[in-house]
Every structure is written in structure tokens, then in C-alpha cells.
Amino acid sequence: MFEEKTINRVPNKALNQIRSEATKQSTFSMENIPPNVELSTDKVILRPLSIDHLHAFYQAGSYPEIWRWSLPDKCTSIEATKSWIEHSVEMTEKGQHFAFAIFDKETDEFVGSTRFCTMKPEDRNLEIGFTFITPKYQRSYINTHAKYCLLQFAFEKLNVIRVEFKTHEKNDKSRNAIARLGASFEGILRNQRILSDGTFRSTAIFSIINSEWEGVKSELELKMTQGYA
């Protein structure tokens, strides 16, 4: 049986303070990320993407197969790459994305890029996306280590409760890579986007939520220790 109880009323001033503190704890902002932040493991370093990376980005991304499922190709020309990086920097400055350049730690070679995007501070959600890794380093330690850095920062520093990953429905390589991270497949968003060539993209969506993070983290750390590729 439902029972109604009378409770003491909280003064408005105290209630507003409680609400304010709760809001601070339950939201996140990309503005909280230092502009010069670096994320790293013993294998990779993630640095904020900048126009200084123009030629390295163009060189690493000058393989059409990289962009097959994520048109338009960002490296059809140095001008196209420059435009993309400038747009990425602008989105970072607006607090809507935070783009990173990925470096192999041993060689300090630029090997790809990734970012936080599709942020929903009110829901403590974000996406990790726009990832590319140059062919030489695909199916290596790079993706696992880079995504570990981003996931750890998202869950432990930004206090998110959900991280999403999206990829083309037909991009089996990307889907397998996301699944290997420990993300759960949630389904297909049908005809979710129209690509630059006019084709319709259906999108496979995956996620990791905060209650799963400690388990996912342990598995990733084990794989990284074992030299998992």
C-alpha cells in the first residue's frame, strides 16, 4: 500500500545550494579539458590536434581505403586536409569537439587522429569518433592504447555515464575493433546519414556505460600488458 510521509521542508536557499552542487557533479564540459592536455600510455601519446600537424596528417591519411566508410576523404589534397584540421580546431575551441593527434610513443610518429564529439553534458554522454589510423599501424597496439586513454579520461575525469561509438554498418573492420574494446553492440540506425557521394549510411552503434567501465578497464589493461593487438 502506498504510504505518504511528511518530511521537513528544506529552506529555499539550502535547496538551491544542493541543486547547484548536484548540477556541478552531474554535468561535464569540454572547457574543463586543459588546451594543452596530453594523454598517454607506454605506447602512445595523444596531443591536441593543431594546424602544426597538417603535413603529418596528410601523409598518414593519404590512403583512400581509410575513408571508404567515412566520406568525405579528408586527404584528397593538402588543402582538404588543412580545411578539415581548421574545422576541427574551431570545433574544439567552441567546446563541441576535442580533437587529438595520435603518436607512436617510441618513434614519435604521427599515426592517426581521434576525438571526443557529440557531447551531451546534461546527460553526461559523449561519443569517441572520427578515428583514423594509418594502415601501417592498423591492427596494432595503437587503437587499443589510444581508446584506453580516451575512455579513462571520459569516465574518470569528465565523469560521463555513457560513451558511444558509431561506424558504418558495413565497416566490419571498425565494428570488430570497437567490439574488441569491450563495447556493447546496441543496434543499427537505419539511413542515419547521407554521405558526400549521395549514398545512405546505416550506422552501427556501440556503447560503454559507467557501471561497466571498471571491468572494461581491467580487460583492456590485461590486453595491453600482454601486447594485445
In angstroms, the CA 123 to CA 1 distance is: 33
Q: Hey, is 51 helix, strand or coil?
A: helix
Which three cell numbers, joined as nine digits, stand for 17?
545550494
pLDDT band at 27 (very low <50, low <70, confident <90, very high): low
Q: How high is the pLDDT of residue 4?
A: 36
Q: Considering the entire predicted model, what is its pTM?
A: 0.85
pLDDT band at 32 (very low <50, low <70, confident <90, very high): confident
DSSP code, position 29: -
The pLDDT of residue 12 is above 70: no
Closest CA relative to residue 105, chosen from 132, 80, 142, 139: 142
CATH architecture of 35-225: 3-Layer(aba) Sandwich (3.40)
Residues 37-93: tens digit of each pLDDT: 999 999 999 999 999 999 999 999 999 999 988 889 999 999 999 999 999 999 999
In angstroms, the CA 102 to CA 115 distance is: 10
Residues 206-217: tens digit of each pLDDT: 999 999 999 999
Q: Considering the chain, what is the average pLDDT of its residues?
A: 87
Distances (CA, A) of 49 to 98, 113, 197, 217: 8, 8, 27, 25
